[in-house]
Amino acid sequence: MDREIKDYFEQKFLVFTTKDDIEKLRQEMKANLLKFKEEVKNHILDSINETKRMVETSELKRKLEEVREDFKGWQKDIELNLNSAISESSFAISKIEKEKESLVKQFQEEVEPRFKTLKDEIIDSLNMVNLKLHSYIEEGQENAFKSIKALEPQINELKKDIESIKNQTNKVIGEIGTFYDKMIRELKEMKDEVGYMVKLSYRDFERRLEALEQRVKAIEKIVFP
């Protein structure tokens, strides 16, 4: 390559210069090239040294650690508040479940015996009517038989009304249970969501911080091969 450059200048400037002048020019160009290479090398070394200084003083690591510690402090406050919300939700769920059980039990204890008593009384009345009817039939008292017989539909209708009221009462009890169950389910979902927030926020932060630390380690490997 040097020979080609030399021949080029010999041909181009042969008329105007001597071979010594051409050689001098070639040496100057070579010196300038070496100087440029040295300047680039020094610039690269300065950059590496600056990076080494930053890594050696652990400035970046220290900053990352400070961020981690600060977040842990914030995390404790956040967790205290969220855990408090979880505890309150758990307490509310437990209280509502007990209220539901107590209310349904109380309702059943108060209403069902009344229905049973009333139903038994109606059955007894019907039995008495049947006995009377048979008695009147045997005695041939047609008029009395007709009078008692006329009451039978009314008694049966009353019996149906009692059954209908009982069914409606059971429906109300079921609706009460459904209402409480829905409330409990919503509270549990809220509690689970809050618990997920505690885990997610810190886990996401840790993941991002670990990614930064991996980048620092990658820089260290480049700087300190």
Question: What are 81-91's pLDDT values in tens digits?
Answer: 666 766 766 77
What residues contact 6, with CB distance under 8 A and at least 6 apart? Answer: 22, 23, 26
Token code pair at residue 51? 């990076």
The confidence band for 1, taking pLDDT boundaries of 50, 70 and 90, is: very low
Residue 55, number of CB atoms within 10 A of its CB: 18
Question: What is the pLDDT at residue 21?
Answer: 56
pLDDT at 98: 76
Report pTM.
0.39
At 48 the pLDDT is 61
Residue 17, burial from CB neighbour count under 10 angstroms (0-12, 13-18, 19+): middle
Residue ranges of domains in the chain: 1-58, 69-225
Instruction: Residue count of the chain, please give it.
Output: 225
Distances (CA, A) of 179 to 110, 170, 172: 21, 14, 10
Residue 122's contacts (CB-CB under 8 Å, 6 or more residues apart) are: 155, 158, 159, 162
Other residues' Cβ atoms within 10 Å of the Cβ of residue 187: 19
SS3 content of the chain, % helix, strand, coil (to 5): 95, 0, 5
**pLDDT for residue 95 is more than 60:** yes
